[in-house]
Amino acid sequence: MSGGVDSSVATGLLAEQGYDVIGITIKTYKYEDVGGNVGNDSTCCSLDGINDARRIALNLGIPHYTVDFSETFKDQVINYFIEDYLAGNTPNPCVMCNRQIKWAEMLRKADTLGAEYIATGHYAQIVHDEISNRRWIRRSDDAQKDQSYMLWSVRQEHLSRTIFPLAGYTKPESRAQGDRMQLGIASKPESYEICFIADNDYRRFLRDARPSIDTEIGNGNFELDGQVIGQHEGYPFYTVGQRRGLGIAHSEPLYVLNVLPSTNVIELGTEDRLLSTELTAHSVNLQKYPDLNDKRKLLVKIRYKDDGAMATCWTDQDGILHVTFDEPRKAIARGQSVVMYEGRDVVGGGIIRDSR
């Protein structure tokens, strides 16, 4: 229970359906450690959100606990986020949080409380094929709120113990349910920022987390076709596809093509050079099928706000995912998630390693 609309309504629906519900709010970070807009109610794990969750649980007549996962979250999510930027990648902390915190850690907590399932306010569905005994995520009916892309890394054993009460609901319908149940959160705004970067300024966060980042890395070169054309603030502060904030005057708009940590170089180029037809990915998790040894034609998304494109996908003997697109894709960034769909079903995904 984050204190927001979705998890609150999910809790209320489960209580109405006769489940024996326990409300759990996760404290994922120490406010003094992350800086920025501390306590901002627009983030999913704010202090105000914890208080709202406690109040709603009281109104619903269910027990409520706040559990401190801040040390595990720092190790598994925040440090990963920092180290991935320092490796020249573009990390996706929400995917890591879902896998390591909202499922793995939450299920361990569920076991200590004698709970059989965990439930969240995600807009997605879980499909169970009784013949193969496999479970997978299916896209939500509400395309605007579909969160299946962020759930590709949830494992089979975790999906078997998961309930999505909002499956089949749209966001307006959830707000209406919250109003009907008089939860007092029906008009609460959405949370969009990374929870531990409440001011949405990841550069400020990296500098706070690594005070020596400017002296250890410092300024580097912008290069265009191997020629130095300017200076940048340090490679961790740039990502593939970025156009704004480069401070480079050129006859054509320039974009970040590549981030090179070993030399602190940012390679720039025109928009057409952002196109790639192939990628590979590691840390692969398959949901719908036990393997992807044979090539399959699937719809593939390379970022959250992506309509997806058709591609041929397979995994090699080392478990590396290979994706070849029918048409070139723009700005494929290392560290982001690639997610494969068959119709509305999540086949699986991985973390992008490289592209060409």
Q: How do strand 64-68 and strand 23-27 relate by DSSP bridges?
A: parallel
Whats the size of the chain, residue-wise? 356
Cα 215 to the chain's mean position, in Å?
A: 30
CA atoms of 304 and 90, how far apart (whole Å):
13
**Is 45 a catalytic site residue?**
no
Catalytic residue among 44, 45, 195, 313: 195
| Catalytic annotation present for 44 | no
- 135 dihedral zone (left: phi>0; alpha: psi -120 to 50; beta): beta
Tell me how far CA of residue 233 lies from CA of 58, 74, 80, 155, 257, in angstroms.
Answer: 49, 26, 22, 39, 16
Residues 6+ apart with CB under 8 A from 306: 149
Catalytic residue among 45, 94, 97, 313: 97
3-state helix, strand, coil in the chain (%, to 5): 30, 30, 40
Distances (CA, A) of 355 to 43, 96, 141, 156, 276: 33, 22, 32, 28, 6
Run of H or E residues at 163: strand 162-163
Residue partners of 62: CB distance under 8 A and separation at least 6: 11, 15, 21, 22, 23
Q: How many Å separate Cα 175 from the centre of its chain?
A: 23
Closest-CA residue to 59 (of 16, 17, 26, 102): 16
Q: Which residues are catalytic?
A: 97, 195
